[in-house]
Amino acid sequence: MKLKHMYILFLLVFSLYNTSKGQSYKHTDLGIKTVINSTEIEIQFYGPSTVRILKFPEGDEFEKKSLSVIMQPQEEIFDIQEMGREITLKSKKISVVLNLKNGQVAFKTISGEPLLNEKAYVGKFTDFIDAGDTTYSVSQSYVLDENEAIYGLGILQRGKMSQRNQEVRMVQNNTEDYVPFFLSEKGYGVYWDNYSPTTFKDNSESTSFSSEVGDGIDYYFMYGGNSDGVIACMRNLTGQVPMFPLWTFGYWQSKERYKSQNEIVGVVKKYRELGVPLDGIIQDWQYWGNNYLWNAMEFLNPDFANPQKMVNDIHDLNAHIIISIWSSFGPMTKPYREMNPKGMLLDIGTWPQSGLTSWPPNKDYPSGVKPYDPYNPEARDIYWKYLNQGIFKLGMDGWWMDSTEPDHLDFRAQDMDNKTYLGSFRKVRNAYPLMTVGGVYEHQREVSSDKRVFILTRSAFAGQQRYGANTWSGDVSSSWESLRNQIPAGLNFSLCGIPYWNSDIGGFFAGAYNKNWNDGSGSKNPLYQELYVRWLQFGAFTPMMRSHGTDVPREIYQFGKEGEPIYDAIEKAIKLRYSLLPYIYGTAWDVTKNQSSFMRALVMDFNDENVKDLRNEYMFGKSILVAPIDSAQYTSEKVLKIDADTGWDKAEKEDTKSNTETNFRKPKSKNVYLPAGEEWYDFWTNETYLGGQNITATTTIDKIPLYIKAGSILPFGPKVKYAAEKKWDKLEIRIYEGANGEFTLYEDENDNYNYEKGMYSTITFNWNDAEKVLTINDREGNFPGMLKERTFGIVKVGKGKAAGDEVVMLFDKVVKYNGKKVLVKF
């Protein structure tokens, strides 16, 4: 072990003690440890930008293998300085100051600028009996600047962008996924590494995390300088993001539920007949039969008599299928019968509550369904064994992992005392989704490298980005309020370092819109049509564009036919998504390679006070500003408050029938704020605006406000019916002049892990605005099937050069490219 460079020279071979002023501390390989006010405190450098703080009562032992943190601490060169009652540890990036009198820890930049202070005490430990074991409840408070904005905490349905001035009880549930992490506008982040029920509280006095169970306080401070830097630190700490398959970025159709294999295959056939692009279809629950066979991981329902044919038929239509699997099992299933004698099932109430499928649940006939213990490695092995045997070997393309919180119904106090492999359920409660999703990812990776793991999951925890998982926001209600809440929910989740997120397009519980409606489906109800179209347009600019819900069917042909405004608006949004696939896939590579984010809160990219708490606009990638229409413009808005646990009770829904004819062809408008310091192009008209102002954007039912940042280079792909239908041999490249710009076009084999071996290619485009020169650089890398030659149609979008909606831009230059550097001068 190499000695660290320090200003303090009196180092002993094994340890160092400073006894000045009655205080002592011990030098360790990673930092220091000491005892202050009967509390052991240890400061550990995990790298130049990340520090771990450990605290526990003197005389106790605190050994913990983190479930989220996979980074190994690095041997870091740091200096130690002592002045008065303070000791300062300095790395190349940050300073950590420990008050030797009261145990307060403060964090500063290397130049001494304050970042974050603990409140002036060492932390709080309260005796707690956890399922018979003596331990503590733990708490730590911090002092933030009065107007400091912070973000993160997971997926919250509260409509807030900055997470100040609130109290959040963190216990995973259907529609809120908690990550005990926040990111500050000052360029630092704090991850509270605890998995028990936790309360985040922020008020004028302090900001704190308090957890029910903890043998000690354990948190990480990271300084990145800006949001991207903090996210990079969080991913270095908890895991990097793999590439998702190209097909996952196309359009996905789903509902609760397709009731036969003929029905689900028929939906794909209908999309192909209509020429509307589609890449994925999802089979929801009950393909296994009755509730006593819940999640059997077998096709036991006679309406799915030949599942291999179903999968083959969908693949033959050039589409992909993923299927619902749960974290629980019915008592008649093989996994249940194997796990139960081994104590691998949790005795808590979960969905479904009855063995009968009638509503409301008849609890005289309990289902007996129980969640399994994913903390147990053998239980994860058993889970995969049946999943592999019953479904994966059919050629299933991915997993819709429902109830990964898991559902916890009919709560009893003793439920949290359930023993898991890692202790009480209370102790590890919030990490349940991380463990169950991770189990599927790791097992599939062991048996196949030809198919990238793709998991759609209802819950998440810190570190889940490393498992090929896209989290959706749960069974949210179909209302404008709910749509408004999804935007900051997705942005704050992304700011936790987990970039893949989506929501049920149209909301899940939509029964209010079909009660007493003409055809009983609600899809012809103008109130729902407007909400659905606006949600779909928002969904086109999220990492996964997926339509799903109950009560109202969501397939495009349910809403009308070609030539009608609602049908045309849906088709236009889907086709726009597909035209942007080269941009989206390039952004996915930026996420994987450079630790970037898909959905970017405006505070990430713009030094503008007006965007710090702006909750209804964001960047999709680094070029496209999206301003979703989140309020009704054509119909009266109904705000529906629906509890996800009782949302199935259709009798409680209000009648939202509209008796007035709606003119969806009339233009409307929306106020949009354009961030300062940039010039912006209206995507539809190419009209230019200076940032730092509110503008009134003209909208129609088939258009939402989209703006392109000057200096952007956007690639547009061919018209296709599915993502991989055509090679990208002829791409349109739009250059939005007004600033220098860069974009890297990324390509690989679309659906295997060969990219991890370097089998991919990149072409980087650079725009020099002053010289009006586009440089198409040498292609780097190669892979089987790579295009050797291609054509780029270049469009220079200039100020005042309006294209108009639906007008095809004429190429300014056509470039034949064979992989060698090309300069295109304008």
Task: Supply the residues annotated as catalytic.
Answer: 402, 405, 475
Say if residue 352 is preceded by a cis peptide, omega within 30 of 0.
Answer: yes
CA dist 173 and 645 (Å) reads 10
Where are the strands (E) in 312-359, listed by range? 320-326, 328-329
Q: What is the 3-state secondary structure (H, E, C) of 725-750?
A: CCCCCEEEEEEECCCCEEEEEEECCC
Where are the strands (E) in 63-113, listed by range? 79-83, 86-90, 94-99, 105-109
Find out whether 321 and 282 touch, Cβ atoms under 8 Å.
yes
The residues, any chain, with a CB within 8 Å of residue 103's CB and separated by 6 or more, are: 36, 37, 39, 41, 55, 121, 122, 123
645, burial (CB in 10 Å: exposed 0-12, middle 13-18, buried 19+): middle
CA dist 328 and 322 (Å) reads 18
Say if residue 406 is preceded by a cis peptide, omega within 30 of 0.
Answer: yes
Which residue, 728, 764, 761, 729, is CA-closest to 747?
761
Q: Taking phi first (over 0 means left), then psi (-120 to 50 degrees means alpha), and beta for anything else, what does residue 671 get?
A: beta
Amino acid at the residue 690: L
Q: Taking phi first (over 0 means left), then psi (-120 to 50 degrees means alpha), and beta for anything else, what does residue 678 get?
A: beta
CA dist 803 and 680 (Å) reads 15
Question: 176 in helix, strand or coil?
Answer: coil
Name the DSSP class of 242: P
The residues, any chain, with a CB within 8 Å of residue 148's CB and separated by 6 or more, are: 164, 184, 185, 186
The partner residues of 252 in beta bridges, in order of sequence, read 280, 546
206 token code pair:
């302090």
313 token code pair:
């038929």
The partner residues of 472 in beta bridges, in order of sequence, read 502
Which residue, 57, 6, 56, 50, is CA-closest to 28?
6
